[in-house]
């Protein structure tokens, strides 16, 4: 269902954890976002952790079989009286691309955002669902008329 093709993904994740994503006021290269993916009956479900991201700051695009998820965590509103003492939560753009298999119906993706988790539900295409094929004997054949 989901094709993984990035052999350096874990190395990138480790580097981002050690070096950080972006500093306040700068928007560096997009950072990856943690996800879970599983099949639930006739759907493929993908969940992304995006705590502190506003729903209007999430973009979903699909081109051919590549799904791109982008989200931006913006700095908290501040003013002249605000003095920041600690800022450990990464700010900036988070991005992830998934290569979806041909067995998924990308025209009917449903997206839901709740409690900082973006959940995508992608139906399995009808052509990919298992089906039973009837076996007939030589004397049981019927002519099909067009």
Q: Domain span at residue 7? A: 2-76+89-128
**Does the pTM of the predicted model rise above 0.85?**
no
pLDDT at 33: 83
Pick from 28-32, 45-49, 102-106: least confident: 28-32
Whether 35 is covered by a domain: the verdict is yes
Whether 93 is covered by a domain: the verdict is yes
pLDDT digits (tens, 9 = 90+) for 88-124: 777 888 889 999 988 899 899 999 999 999 999 999 8
| 3 state DSSP class of 121 | strand
- Specify the DSSP element, H or E, that contains 50: none
Whether 145 is covered by a domain: the verdict is no
Whether 140 is covered by a domain: the verdict is no
Whether 102 is covered by a domain: the verdict is yes
CA 56 to chain centre: 16
pLDDT at 26: 46
pLDDT beyond 70 at 8: no
Whether 133 is covered by a domain: the verdict is no
We report the CATH number of the domain holding residue 48 as 2.60.40.790
Whether 9 is covered by a domain: the verdict is yes
Q: How many domains does the chain have?
A: 1
Whether 121 is covered by a domain: the verdict is yes
At residue 74, φ and ψ (nearest 5 deg) are -95, 155
Contact 59, 69 (CB under 8 A): yes
pLDDT beyond 80 at 87: no
The mean predicted confidence, pLDDT, of the chain is 79
């Amino acid at each position: 269902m989901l094709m993984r093709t990035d052999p350096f993904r874990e190395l990138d994740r480790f580097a981002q954890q050690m070096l950080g994503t972006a500093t306040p006021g700068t928007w560096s290269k997009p950072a990856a976002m943690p996800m879970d993916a599983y099949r639930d009956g006739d759907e493929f479900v993908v969940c992304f952790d995006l705590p502190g991201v506003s729903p209007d700051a999430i973009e979903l695009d699909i081109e051919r079989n590549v799904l791109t998820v982008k989200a931006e965590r913006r700095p908290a509103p501040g003013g002249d009286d605000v003095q920041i003492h600690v800022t450990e939560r990464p700010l900036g753009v988070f991005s992830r691309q998934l290569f979806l298999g041909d067995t998924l119906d990308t025209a009917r993706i449903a997206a839901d955002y709740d409690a900082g988790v973006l959940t995508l539900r992608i139906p399995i295409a009808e052509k990919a669902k298992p089906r039973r094929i009837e076996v007939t004997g030589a004397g049981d054949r019927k002519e099909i008329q067009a």
